[in-house]
Structure 1
Amino acid sequence: MSSGQKILTAFLTLIGGLLIVIIGLCTAWPWWCWPAAALTLLVLARLVSLSARRRRPTIPQEHLLEPDRPIPPVERWEKVVREVALPSASPDYDFLVTALVRWVPIDVAHGAPDVSGSGLAVDAVLTRARTITVTHPPHRGSLVQHQLAGALGTMEQDPTGRVLAMAENIQVSLSEADRERLEKLATVRKDEAVWEHERKWEQSKRAYLGEDVLASTGSAVVWWLAKNDDRVDKAVADIGLLAQLTSVANDEPIPAPLQPYVAPVAPDTPAAPEAEAAGAATDLFVAALQGLGLDEDDPARSLFLRRVAEAARAARLSGADALDRLATEEEERYRDPLPPEEAGDADGDLLAGGVTGL
């Protein structure tokens, strides 16, 4: 009789005793019924225990002396591969894959040739990984890493049918040089996109101004009123300015009906005083020639003027151009210039006389 059976018999005896007590109290048994009921309960318990001892157990006792042995765990093999270059969707850019490859050999028929389980497993895992990496650009390394973890996380048979292989602890990276190149290319692409957007915006703005706003003076005035609808008087005052802008934008002269609206161009005020000063200096120099005795009929007058004009031009004086024009006018009055030797004598006499006169 086992311990479990003994506990069950005792439990049933206790339950039976409680039932006898409850029934006896409820029915008010005479005193002699209590010993008889207790004796009957003990006899029944004894009979149950004797019956259990005679019954043969389902599992022989000799087989229960040693507990069941656990099934031995499946032996597995593993190998770490580091920074294996796998192609990406972009030429010359490779993913560097690091992973822990696990495999289990498959039972084959007797006499099959020996194989390298690690080699077959690594090749099978990398082949599976390559089908994923080749479809992604190199800057998607994080996405590729998660996809490889899902695709290679299941034991699958290699093409030769000799091992079951999988991969864990997968890491995907790029070389430092490739990462720097990709960052530069990304920056250039972004800048180019911004520049292209700005260029199109500028083209659109020029087309809007040239083909719509400044197509004619009327369209320019209407555009101005749309921007300043409460300043009609200012629009009328600016018709001349708008007409000039329109004519310049279309490379056309200002129409005759709009000429009255265009203000005349003021002369160059700084240039006028300079011209007046140059003219006054020329008049003073002519008067000085008269004082030196070089009359208008004197042929040496033009030669002297030429020498003075060259000296003024060399000194970068403001009246040099006026003196040069005056000398040219004097030379044109004499069609037959003096011979070189006479001109030289006249030049010397003139300079001597001038110095004496001064």
Structure 2
Amino acid sequence: MSSGHKTMTAFLALIAGLVLAIIGLYAQWPLWAWPAALGGLVAVAAGALITANRRRPVVPPERRAEPDLPIPPVERWEQVVRHVALPSLLDDYDFLVSATVRWLPVDAPANAPLVSTGGLAVDSVLERARRITVQQPPHRSTLVQHQLNGELATMVTDASGRVMAMAENVSVTLSDPDRERLEKLATVRKDEAVWEHERKWEQSKRAYLGDDVLKTTGSAVVWWLAKNNEQIDKTVSDIGVLARLSSAARDEPVPDEHVHQPPVSHQPYEEHPRASTTEEGATASVTQQLDLLMQSAGLAADDPRRVLFARRMAEVAKLADLPEVAEEIEDALARRAADPLGLGDDDPAGAGPRPFE
């Protein structure tokens, strides 16, 4: 009989006693009736207790829940490993792996030897991790970390078949010296790639100039003509320079006709402005030099700007205190105005082209 049944029996006996007392007072029982009623009440309560103790309970004691007993602690099969060196794709550069290894023992045969399940689980997890790290370069540590978290997140039976192991919270790092070395090597490789590209570009440029542009004097002249927007006069005046450059590029002697030939162009100022020497050695007048200058500037023979240019040059000569130069240019302009079609015979034969045309 449980304590609950006993409490209920005592409570009912107390209520029955109170009812009997009320009835006795209302009926005015004699004195001898009170002890008799009390004894009967006690006898009924005692009989109820004896009967309850003899009755078999509905739920046997061995089947009853025992909430007051302490719950046994759950056995956790896990171990933390830190900074385990695993090989990478490059020799002497190791990944440092840390993780929480979890495992479950597998039922073993009756005659199987005792083993350390924790050691088997850690060895299984590290072997699975090594198969991944050995294929990755060391500077990809973050990528390797995510790969290991995905690969080791599944319970897999080890080679002995005694445990199922997995890993959580995997982290992959490199040592500080290794990281610094890799950064330096990466910088050197990038600089070397840029230098190699520049070197190949320079070799290509030299090959283009030596094997194509300056291969012969003719190829050099064609290249120079294309560079100067088909300015034939300028290219003709630079043939001597191009011939010497072509001969020097081929390590050959310079042709005799170009040995002492001075460059005609690229001389902005002359020591004696009134006369210069042409390719044939004859003296060129101021007007002829001015005509060559306008041709080099791209002014065609029928361009009206040639006359304006000549007038401005005459004014500049006057300002520079060169009256003879100014007078020669003005005389040429006067002859052109008097004979615009060039029908006169004031230009002696063999004197060259008509001024400013």
TM-score normalized with structure 2 length = 0.52
The alpha carbon displacement at 1:110 in A equals: 3.0
Partners of 1:73 and 1:223 in 2: CA distance: 93
In structure 1, distance between residues paired with 2:217 and 2:261: 12
Q: Distance in 2 between matches of 1:74 and 1:106?
A: 17
| Contact preservation (8 Å) 1:75, 1:104 | no
Relative to total residues, which structure has the larger helix share, 1 or 2? 1
Which amino acid in structure 2 is aligned with residue 142 of structure 1? T
**Structure 1 CA distance, aligned partners of 2:90 and 2:162?**
34
Render the CA deviation track for 1:64-99: whole Å, top value 9, x for unaligned.
x999x9xx9985411110010001111111110011
Give a deviation string over 1:93-114, Cα, whole Å, max 9, x none. 1110011100011112334322
Kindly report which structure 2 residues correspond to 1:1-358, keeping only aligned pairs within 5 A, or say none: 75-259=75-259, 261-262=261-262
* Contact 1:239/1:261 (<8 A) preserved: no
* Preserved contact between residue 224 and residue 235 of structure 1 (Cα < 8 Å): yes
What amino acid does structure 2 have at the position aligned with 1:108?
A
Which letter maps to 1:198? E
Counterpart Cα distance in 2 of 1:177 and 1:260: 66
**Is the CA contact 1:86–1:130 (under 8 Å) kept in the aligned structure 2?**
yes
Distance 2:73 2:165 in 1: 17
Return the alpha-carbon distance in structure 2 between the equivalents of residues 178 and 259 of structure 1.
Answer: 64
| Alpha carbons of structure 1 residues 111 and 206: separation in structure 2 relative to 1, 3 Å | same
In 2, Cα distance between equivalents of 1:210 and 1:228? 20
- Runs of 5+ unmatched residues, structure 1: 1-60, 265-358
Distance 1:98 1:218 in 2: 73
d(CA) in 1 for partners of 2:81 and 2:256? 87
Contact 2:244 2:258 (C-alpha < 8 Å) held by counterparts: no
Q: Percent identical across equivalent pairs? A: 67
Alpha-carbon offset, residue 257 of structure 1: 4.3
Who is 1:18 aligned against?
none
Q: Specify the code of the residue in structure 1 equivalent to 2:191.
A: D
Tell me the alpha carbon deviations over residues 153-197 of structure 1, each in whole angstroms, 9 at most, x when there is no partner.
100001111111000111111110111111111111111111111
TM-score normalized by the length of structure 1: 0.52
Secondary structure at the counterpart of residue 139 of structure 2:
coil
8 A contact 2:83–2:96 mirrored in 1: yes
One-letter amino acid matched to 2:189: R
Q: Does structure 2 conserve the Cα–Cα contact (< 8 Å) formed by 1:101 and 1:168?
A: yes
Structure 2 gap ranges (5+): 1-57, 265-357
Task: Report the count of equivalent residues.
Answer: 200
Q: Does the 8 A contact of 1:158 with 1:165 survive in 2?
A: yes
Residue aligned with 2:138, SS: coil
